[in-house]
Amino acid sequence: MGLFQDQTSSLSEIKRLAALVMDPSRRDEIGPDQWPLAMIAYGLVTCNETGREEEGVTIYNIFQSCCAPDARRKCALQLASFIRQRKGDGWRALLPFAMTDAAPDIRRQAAFLIYTLAAPKPEERFPGIAGLVNIICAAPLPGQAGMAPALDALMSLGDMRFAPYLASISNKLPSERLADLLAGTEAIPTDVGCGWLLDVLDRHPELSSAIAVVLAGMPARATEVMDVVVPVPSWQFTNSAVQPLHSWSIPEYRLRMRERLSKHLDPEAQEAVDRAWN
């Protein structure tokens, strides 16, 4: 991006665009072709400020009305590149993408980037995960999209260190909110994700149908169930690929789950899960 080649002029342009984005009376001065750059500028200027989620959702809805999914996806990746260069500083710039985009795959991608880019803090080892979990559990903001893709990304990471964050979701949300969250879930099967679903089933047996649907959809997305470690934050590693520690075959893991599932699922739901995991 040529804009960022000259540091002095680029800083001035970043601040100018960010000022336009943050001024509701002047946002119409931003042309459709300028919005990706404006969104980056807004993210870079405000990324270390908290409490801007509602503003971010409002701004993002304007941005996505002007830009196609490919442009929005590219914009998120460009922001992620800047965050990596800054050693994880600025992960909040991706919150509007994870909270608002109409495309679930972009929300899922943004959530994964937040989870794996946020730098550890003395008070919070995984601040990106903690931040998005708080948003998942909070009352939805006007214009906010569903948070199921953010849950997908967390379950799919599979790292057992993240189990307490998943537990906090099911501890804080009432069954109605959990049902809505599970309805849009498309996670890959991991030991921590499946274990959390079984814990939710024990705690909320009234969600047995919803959990059976989620479990039945999982095997089609992977050939095995992994217990994995994902490098977090990924800017510390040259290769941020998933590193499997151990895995189970799909039929093996069905046997691990069968006893706990049988306590809560009716025969028809049990059969659907068994069929998917065979």
- 242 pLDDT band, cuts 50/70/90, is low
pLDDT at 10: 64
Model confidence at 46, in pLDDT bands (50, 70, 90)? very high
84-106 tens-digit pLDDT: 999 999 999 999 999 999 999 99
pLDDT of 146 > 70? The answer is yes
pLDDT at position 258, please? Answer: 94
Express each pLDDT in 165-183 by its tens digit. Answer: 999 999 999 999 999 999 9
Task: Answer whether residue 274 shows pLDDT above 90.
Answer: yes
Summarize the confidence of residues 1-9 as an average pLDDT. 43
pLDDT value for 118: 94
Kindly report the average pLDDT of the chain as a whole number: 92
d(CA 170, CA 267): 25
Could you report the per-residue pLDDT of 184-201, keeping only the tens digit for each?
899 999 999 999 999 999
Greater pLDDT, 243 or 194: 194
> With 80 as the cut, is the pLDDT of residue 138 above it?
yes
Residue 241: pLDDT band by 50, 70, 90 thresholds?
low
pTM metric for this prediction: 0.92
pLDDT band at 143 (very low <50, low <70, confident <90, very high): very high
Please compute the mean of the pLDDT values over residues 156-160 and round it to a whole number: 89
pLDDT in tens, 11-44: 688 899 999 999 999 999 999 999 999 999 999 9
- Report percent pLDDT > 70 for the chain: 94
